[in-house]
Amino acid sequence: MTAEVVSVGTELLMGQTLDTHSSTLGRLLAEHGIACHRRTTVDDNLSRIEGVLREALERCDLVLTVGGLGPTADDLTRDAIAAALGEPLEPVPHIEMRLREYFASRGIDWNRAIARQALKPRGAETIDNPNGTAPGLHARKDGKTVVALPGPRGEFGPMVEGPLRAILESLAGGETIRSRTLRICGLGESQVEAALGEIMASEDPVVAPYAHPGEVHLRITARGASAEEAESVIEPVERQIREILGANVFGRDDQTLETVVLGLLRERSARVATAESLTGGGLSARLTGIPGASDVFAGGVVAYSAALKESLLGIDADVLQAESPVSEAVARAMAEGARSRLGAEYGLGLTGNAGPTADAGRKPVGQVWVACAGPGGTWATSHRFVGGREDVRTRAAQAALVLLRQMLLSEAER
């Protein structure tokens, strides 16, 4: 089974909208073991969309389109699919009725543009769109399948997760697909791939890496006649990966790093406090984003200026005088200050230059120090992150959580 993705929209070609939907579809196809050979982006032009669809249909079994299903003159995907399949468009009575009710209830007169959304190529089925007006399309002809999905995020997402998954599962032979995501910290995507070697090339289960700021997710996907059968294919590979990557695997599926760290603190009846500079409270926001954080997160301070670092965290004026604000000494003093001043067993300190320009101390952009103070001493790590200001700040918070987790795990070993 081979597939192609066709995204439709002049705004995509002009760089006004980033084509994230194609990536989503690429991942989904890979998960279902369907090889995606090409992605095409085409502007809102009927004959060009039709041409792209014809070519794609000659080459592969399944074509997924995104966008261009709406009511406006530049929404031409429906017409292009009908033309490429050589089928006329015909109205779908139940969709038309729903649209008539919807627009009447809003006092909008019925018009030709709206009516177009109730059309489908002969022989095709519509896919319900509870979050918008234009339905999706599912057309089959001569062994080929075309699925058309709406562009708006709130319509695309639910249609992909529900109906499209079901279509792909049935195309994949009625088998059940199961997947599990292992979350990894402390290693980059290429390090993970290198460490896992052959495993990454496995076809059953499929193992696919996804890079996120400061972590890598490995999605292990298997198919089987039943869920149990698919799980039994995933399990030995998951075990193998865990053996190789060890403590770098911090969680599974939707377990975030902050959830895991808070869980470790809870097991130890310990609390953490934060002293943040470049992250401006971003780390505290992540920790307080987890329900029930209050029993293990004491609180934090945003100490941006040297004066506040001194008054709120009790950092020695001498240290602040002698050292750049972005330094190991200041990060350590911030962590220790958070721990003692805020009364927690663990303190985290974060300082760095998020850019875009080098700071007064001429620390390079992306230079970050994070420190973790605990009952057994203080640890600090230095980082040089690449990326924009937000990337650096996200990665700094991530690095602090990684460091705290390392300390908590190493204490457990002793």
List interacting residues with ligand ATP (CB under 6 A). 7-9, 11-12, 17, 19-22, 66-70, 72, 75, 132, 134, 150-152
257 binds, among Mg ion, ligand ATP, none (CB under 5 to 8 A by kind): none
21 binds, among Mg ion, ligand ATP, none (CB under 5 to 8 A by kind): ligand ATP
Distance of alpha carbon 118 from alpha carbon 345, whole angstroms = 63
Contacts with 237 (C-beta within 8 Å, 6 or more apart), sequence order: 199, 202, 205, 207, 220
Distance of alpha carbon 100 from alpha carbon 132, whole angstroms = 14
Q: Which is nearer to ligand ATP, 136 or 224 (CB)?
A: 136
H or E stretch at 222: strand 215-224
Question: Which residue bears the tokens 């997760």?
Answer: 161
Distance of alpha carbon 132 from alpha carbon 157, whole angstroms = 12
Q: Which is nearer to ligand ATP, 9 or 300 (CB)?
A: 9
Q: Which is nearer to Mg ion, 70 or 300 (CB)?
A: 70
7 binds, among ligand ATP, Mg ion, none (CB under 5 to 8 A by kind): ligand ATP
Q: Which chain residues interact with Mg ion by CB under 5 A?
A: 70, 75
Q: Which is nearer to Mg ion, 151 or 205 (CB)?
A: 151
In the bound state, the residue with its beta carbon closest to ligand ATP is 70
The SS3 of residue 188 is coil
Least CB distance from residue 232 to ligand ATP, whole Å? 36
Least CB distance from residue 396 to ligand ATP, whole Å? 29
325 binds, among Mg ion, ligand ATP, none (CB under 5 to 8 A by kind): none
Distance of alpha carbon 364 from alpha carbon 353, whole angstroms = 7
Instruction: Provide the pairing of β-strand 89-91 with 62-66.
Output: unpaired
134 binds, among ligand ATP, Mg ion, none (CB under 5 to 8 A by kind): ligand ATP
Q: What's the number of CA atoms in the CB half-sphere (13 Å) around residue 88?
A: 3
Q: Which is nearer to Mg ion, 77 or 145 (CB)?
A: 77
Cis peptide before 356 (omega within 30 of 0): yes
Q: Which is nearer to ligand ATP, 21 or 183 (CB)?
A: 21
Cis peptide before 152 (omega within 30 of 0): no
Residue ranges with strand state E in 9-91: 35-42, 62-66, 89-91
DSSP 162: I
Least CB distance from residue 22 to ligand ATP, whole Å? 6
Distance of alpha carbon 2 from alpha carbon 143, whole angstroms = 12
In the bound state, the residue with its beta carbon closest to Mg ion is 70
Least CB distance from residue 75 to Mg ion, whole Å? 4
Least CB distance from residue 69 to ligand ATP, whole Å? 4
Least CB distance from residue 3 to Mg ion, whole Å? 23
Least CB distance from residue 7 to ligand ATP, whole Å? 4
Distance of alpha carbon 392 from alpha carbon 398, whole angstroms = 10
Q: Which is nearer to Mg ion, 33 or 70 (CB)?
A: 70
Least CB distance from residue 77 to Mg ion, whole Å? 9
Q: Which is nearer to ligand ATP, 16 or 105 (CB)?
A: 16
Find the angle CA(393)-CA(363)-CA(315) to the nearest 5 degrees. Answer: 75
Distance of alpha carbon 168 from alpha carbon 36, whole angstroms = 13
